């Protein structure tokens, strides 16, 4: 029986609610062996409070930097953690106050993080750290709400995108925090905003509107609007299942690539455009929804669909890789009022060639934990009962290609004290010496999809540059420990 993405998320919330008092044991041997080639490993990073991993990048020295949001009681913290190429912690910093939304590495190895105020959300901070994690400066931008930042081609400037539901802003900011120019555009947006550098010193900004399609705009290095286009797909004319923009990345030929999700249909759309915004290819990715093994005791079940958090990057071989979460679910009843339920949320990597065809796919998950559970009534169709919950939850949050041809995936093991997880794979998604389960060849189907490209009548106006003033953020050492998985 096929279930909607909404239903999948409902099931996930229901099942994980019973997992809070659990500590998941990680055992099992890896299915993929790596005897040569890129360094591979899987590690967990833990501290006192609950986790929400956000994003990860590869640093110029070959290591990695990731952002993790922690919460305990009424306290929330944003942390940047620098690890080396083997996953060992080099430094870890807590930035307070503010909600870090994005961070980048500049040409000299310094890091700039953008964060918004926790309370009013009417101002933004930029915080600059050295390659060693030492504070260089903090700047406050009154009235700005930076959603995403990206370094320009030279690594000397950053582009920042923010705005309200009706007006969007893009700014170019120097490495010392000075705003060079700011532009406003009359483009409505409902959810996501992303920015990526182009090959000529300018940038692309992608704006999400669930009713009128994704909008892509290109700006030159001096702030001139080069072109603006919308991309429409007629899956649901009501707009209810229109796509949600989930990632934007640049390509080596000067164009860009995007992922969008039809979360209610369990579909991922990957779109590649050239430097002029014209379609190169558009692919629909679905994981075959397979019925759970037929059994007279089966109450309901499904296996396979992707559910959320998709992103796409260009690989070092010129192809592309997509990361997403997948799910499996089944409930059995051997006697009336007694259930055995099996739930899995897994991270996935799907490798595409330069033309968008699937080369391979991998599924990553941890071991299954079984606990006694009370099951409430489900839609009056499945009566309440007792039984056991058998659950494995590995959430995927951020993804990047690495210089050695492999991939780095940032995720979370969902349990009583969630752990942040970083997985470094080889060029085929393998990890050696890990207790995580890795399944080869999940059943991904790729189809072309029709997309309508329209020129937009958008005007980019100069706006007064937001002035930057010194801010009083603090940067202190965080307290993470690391262990192998």
How many Å apart are CA 255 and CA 259, to the nearest integer? Answer: 14
Q: Pick the residue with more confidence: 2 or 75?
A: 75
pTM to 2 decimal places: 0.82
pLDDT higher than threshold 80 for residue 471: no
Band of the pLDDT at 266, cuts 50, 70, 90?
Answer: confident
Q: Pick the residue with more confidence: 237 or 111?
A: 111
Residue 202 maps to a domain:
no
Residue 186 maps to a domain:
no
The closest of 368, 384, 386, 366 to 376, measured between CA atoms, is 384
283-303: average pLDDT: 71
Position 237 scores a pLDDT of 44
Residue 451 maps to a domain:
no
How many Å apart are CA 336 and CA 333, to the nearest integer? Answer: 7
CB atoms within 10 A of CB 373: 19
Number of residues written out for the chain = 485
User: What's the pLDDT tens digit per position in 306-334?
Assistant: 666 789 999 999 999 999 888 878 888 88
Position 15 scores a pLDDT of 41
Position 466 scores a pLDDT of 61
Tell me the pLDDT of the chain averaged across its residues: 78
Q: Which of 9-23, 86-100, 236-250 has the highest mean pLDDT?
A: 86-100
Q: Exposed e or buried b for every residue in 256-281, given b needs 16+ CB within 10 A?
A: bbbbbbbbbbbbbbbbbbebebeeeb
Residue 67 maps to a domain:
no
User: What's the pLDDT tens digit per position in 392-405?
Assistant: 888 888 889 999 99
- Alpha carbons within 13 angstroms on the beta-carbon side of residue 257 total 27
- Alpha carbons within 13 angstroms on the beta-carbon side of residue 348 total 29
Residue 98 maps to a domain:
no
Task: Write the CB contacts of 237 (distance below 8 Å, at least 6 apart in sequence).
Answer: none
Position 438 scores a pLDDT of 84
Residue 340 maps to a domain:
yes
pLDDT higher than threshold 60 for residue 71: yes
How many Å apart are CA 314 and CA 253, to the nearest integer? Answer: 11
Band of the pLDDT at 85, cuts 50, 70, 90?
Answer: very high
Position 435 scores a pLDDT of 82
| Number of domains composing the chain | 1
Position 321 scores a pLDDT of 94
Both tokens assigned to 145: 């709400």
Terminal Cα-to-Cα distance of the chain (whole angstroms): 34
pLDDT higher than threshold 50 for residue 6: no
Task: Look up the domain containing 392 and give its range.
Answer: 1-30+292-442
Backbone angles phi, psi at 17, to 5 degrees: -60, -30
pLDDT higher than threshold 70 for residue 275: yes
């Amino acid at each position: 029986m096929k279930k909607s993405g909404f239903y999948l998320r409902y099931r996930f919330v229901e099942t994980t609610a019973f997992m809070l008092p659990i500590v998941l044991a990680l055992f099992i041997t890896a299915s993929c062996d790596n005897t040569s080639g890129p360094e591979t490993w899987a590690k967990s990073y833990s501290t006192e409070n609950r986790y929400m991993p956000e994003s990860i990048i590869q640093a110029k020295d070959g290591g990695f930097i990731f952002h993790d949001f922690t919460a305990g009681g009424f306290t929330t913290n944003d942390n940047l953690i620098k690890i080396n190429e083997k996953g060992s912690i080099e430094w870890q910093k807590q930035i307070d106050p503010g909600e870090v939304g994005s961070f980048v590495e500049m040409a000299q190895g310094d890091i700039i993080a953008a964060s918004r105020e926790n309370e009013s959300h009417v101002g933004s901070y930029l915080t600059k750290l050295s390659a060693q994690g030492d504070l260089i400066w903090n700047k406050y931008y009154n009235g700005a709400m930076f959603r995403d930042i990206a370094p320009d081609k030279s690594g000397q400037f950053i582009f920042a995108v923010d705005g309200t539901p009706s007006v969007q802003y893009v700014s170019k900011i120097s490495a010392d925090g000075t705003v060079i120019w700011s532009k406003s555009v009359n483009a409505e947006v409902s959810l996501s905003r992303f920015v990526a550098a182009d090959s000529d010193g300018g940038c692309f900004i992608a704006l999400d509107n669930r009713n009128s399609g994704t909008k892509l705009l290109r700006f030159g290095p001096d702030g001139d609007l080069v072109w603006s286009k919308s991309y429409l797909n007629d899956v649901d004319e009501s707009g209810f299942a229109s796509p949600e923009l989930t990632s934007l990345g640049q390509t080596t030929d000067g164009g860009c690539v995007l992922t969008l999700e039809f979360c209610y249909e369990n579909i991922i759309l990957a779109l590649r455009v050239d430097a002029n915004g014209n379609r190169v290819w558009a692919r629909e990715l679905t994981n075959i929804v397979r019925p759970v093994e037929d059994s007279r005791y089966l109450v309901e079940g499904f296996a396979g669909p992707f559910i959320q958090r998709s992103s796409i990057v260009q690989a070092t071989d010129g192809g592309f890789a997509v990361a997403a979460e997948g799910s499996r679910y089944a409930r059995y009843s051997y006697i009336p009022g007694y259930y055995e339920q099996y739930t899995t949320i897994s991270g996935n990597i799907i490798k595409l060639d330069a033309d968008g065809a699937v080369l391979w796919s991998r599924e990553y998950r941890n071991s299954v934990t079984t606990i006694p559970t009370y099951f409430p009534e489900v839609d009056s169709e499945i009566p309440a009962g007792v039984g056991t919950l058998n659950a494995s939850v590995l959430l995927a949050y951020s993804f990047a290609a690495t210089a050695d041809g492999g991939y780095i995936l940032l995720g979370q093991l969902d349990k009583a004290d969630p752990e942040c997880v970083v997985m470094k794979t080889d060029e085929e998604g393998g990890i050696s010496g890990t207790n995580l389960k890795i399944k080869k060849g999940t059943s991904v189907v790729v189809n072309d999809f029709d997309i309508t490209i329209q020129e937009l009548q958008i005007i980019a106006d100069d706006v007064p540059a937001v002035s930057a003033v010194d801010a009083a953020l603090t940067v202190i050492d965080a307290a993470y420990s690391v262990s192998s998985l």
